[in-house]
Structure 1
Amino acid sequence: MQRYTATAIALHWLIALLVIANFALGVFMTDIPGLTPAKLRYFSWHKWAGVTILLLATLRLLWRLRHRAPALPDTMPAWEKMAAHASHSLLYVLLFAVPLSGYFYSLAAGVPVVYFGVIELPVLIGRDPQLKELLETTHFGLNMLLAATVALHVLAALKHQFIDHDSVLRRMLPVRT
């Protein structure tokens, strides 16, 4: 069985954990009423995780461009292979689009992004209430699409493991099975 490289596996699982944690944090923090010190702290953590996801996604994409993914099993129907490639492409797009939409949303709200409270990211757009509303809706919609795509990805991996009994899931597991 051909496996992904150790670097690809590490980046996959690290990004997956960060995406899930940041999604949960985003849902949690937006439900907190008012503007409390805790809510502001959670927003900072959410932004830091988003920037980290963007950086790791960039590394992952660069790695992927230089290292071919293992071939899908010959037993997979052509439509499944096409769906797998399409969903992976969509995941890559969303790993960039979600953090970038959040970054620009924050800037349009007039709030700079300061990575880990130390590195101020460039302010590429000024405060703009109308753009803020659009970017808030965009960020939310992209997050919902990412959540749905991740759920589909997980369900497909489980289908391959427990119904098809092929190597699709095992080639991305951090431990050999």
Structure 2
Amino acid sequence: MAEPRNRYSSVSLYLHWLIAALVVVQVALIMVRDETEGEFARTLLNIHKSVGLGILVLTLARIGWRVANPAIPLPEPMPRWQKLLARGTHVLFYVVLIGMPLGGWAASSAAGRDIIWFGLFEWPALPIGGGRELAGQLMDIHELGAKALYVLIALHIGGALKHHFVDRDNVLHRMIPWIPRRP
């Protein structure tokens, strides 16, 4: 009988950490943009839009990879409620990581604002109207998604640290290659 996998694949690790890094970049971009004005602020916003659409594409790729390569089972002794919380958090991450870029894209489209993807080409607008009013409502939802994302990140990191320092299991080892496996 084959031994169960105890680590995620390189593709899963790469996508996880790349998306995580891009989320940090997004937060930094929007924080700096909020403190600036003029052309520099517009440039940061355009980069923010491009990175957001990149996160959308990478998240869809990650979901596709996850369907083809199911998650490693959580530790047997882990209580059922913790397993449900862990899986629910992951599902909500996917919802937010898809919903936020779609909401930003929809807001730009409703407002008639172009998205030039990293200065390379014009990203197609969604076929929606609504003008500034709808764009504003969509941006309110987009910002609510950011707050939800912060809560999910806190839950995710808190859970990982709990597993490593309190439960002393190998959950964190599965996603961070340089952490040695515990016996």
Q: Could you say which TM-score interval applies, normalised by the shorter chain? A: over 0.9
Matched with 2:72 is 70
Structure 2 unaligned segments of length 5 or more: list them.
none
Alignment match of 1:95 (pick from 89, 94, 97): 97
Q: Give the superposition deviation at 1:27.
A: 2.5
1:21 and 2:29 aligned: no
| 2:133 counterpart SS class | helix
Q: Does 1:52 align with 2:77?
A: no
Greater mean deviation of Cα atoms: 122-131 or 137-146: 122-131
Contact 1:107 1:127 in 2 (8 A): no
| Residue type of the alignment partner of 1:108 | A
Q: Which has the higher contact order (CA 8 A, sep 6+)?
A: 1
Residue of structure 2 in register with 1:82 after alignment: 84
Match of 2:35 in 1: 31
Which runs of structure 2 are paired with 1:95-174 in the superposition (5 Å)? 95-124=97-126, 125-126=128-129, 128-174=131-177
Over 6 Å off, 4+ runs: none
Compute the RMSD of aligned alpha carbons.
1.4
Is this contact kept in 2: 1:48–1:115, CA < 8 A?
A: yes
C-alpha contact 2:105 2:125 (8 A) present in aligned 1: no
Paired letter, 2:98:
F
Q: Percent identity, please.
A: 38
What SS class does the counterpart of residue 114 from structure 1 fall into? Answer: strand
